[in-house]
Amino acid sequence: ALNVRQRLPAGFSLAGNGFFRGNDQTSFVQGLFSTSTLQTDTTSGGSTVQLTHEGTILQRKNLASLGVEYAYNRFNITNSGNFSGFTFVTKQLTTENVGGVYLSDSFNLFESLVLNAGLRYDWDHFDFTDKLDPTLSDKKSYDRVSPKAGLVYSPLRNLSLTFSYSQGIRMPTVNELFSQGPFGSNPNLVPMTSQNFELGAKGKWSDWLEGSL
C-alpha cells in the first residue's frame, strides 16, 4: 500500500492511496459422508483519490471533501469433493469491478454546533465464468446512492454530543451469488441495505482520562 498527500493553494489538499494484495487459500472440509477441498486464488488492487478544501462560508468554518474510489478483484476458484459417493469438480473465474464517488461536508453553524452531511454512490459489477459449464456463466451489476447527516454539539470545551443518520449497503459476495460445487446458485440476490441511527457523547477531562458513550 502507498499513501501520498499534497497541500495545494487556497486551502485545498489532495490525498491518494493505492494498494495491491495477493492471497492464496486452500481449505479442506471433512464431514460424516463428505469431503471437499476449496482452492481460492485472489488478486486485488485499487486506489482512492480525495480532494479536500478547508475554508469559510459566511464567515463560518467549512470542510468539504470529494473522493473517487476504484478496486479490481479477481477470484480463481477450484472446488472438488465427494458426497456419499458422488464426485464433483468446479472451476470458476470471477472478476469484480468496484467503484465509488463520495461528497461530504462539515459546516460550523455556530462555534459549538457542527453540521455534517454527505452522499455516496456505490457501483459493483461481477463477471462470473464457469470454466466447465459455460451455461452457468453470468454477469451482475449493482448500484446505489446512500446519504448521511449528523450534528455535533459541544456545550462545554471538553464535552461533545453527537447524532447521526446514514444509509448503508452490503453487496452480495462471489460465493453467495454463484454456485459452489453442484449445489446451485443465487444469482437473483439483491444487496442488503440498512438505516443507521447513532447517539453519542465524548468527554476528555485530562491528558490521561477520556470517555465515550
The string of pLDDT tens digits covering residues 40-51 is: 999 999 999 999
Q: Would you say 157 and 121 are in contact if contact means Cβ atoms under 8 Å apart?
A: no
In angstroms, the CA 173 to CA 53 distance is 35
Q: Strand 209-212's sheet: what is its strand order?
A: 2-7, 12-30, 34-57, 60-83, 86-110, 113-130, 138-156, 159-170, 192-206, 209-212
pLDDT tens figures, 58-102: 999 999 999 999 999 999 999 899 888 888 888 999 999 999 999
Q: What is the mean pLDDT of residues 109-121?
A: 96
The proportion of the chain whose per-residue pLDDT surpasses 70, expressed as a percent, equals 97
- 209-212 and 159-170 as β-strands: parallel, antiparallel, unpaired? unpaired
pLDDT tens figures, 152-190: 999 998 999 999 999 999 999 887 887 655 556 787 889
Band the pLDDT of 136: cuts 50, 70, 90. confident
Q: Is the pTM of this model over 0.95?
A: no
Closest-CA residue to 142 (of 165, 176, 118, 166) = 176
Backbone phi, psi, residue 134, to 5°: -60, -20
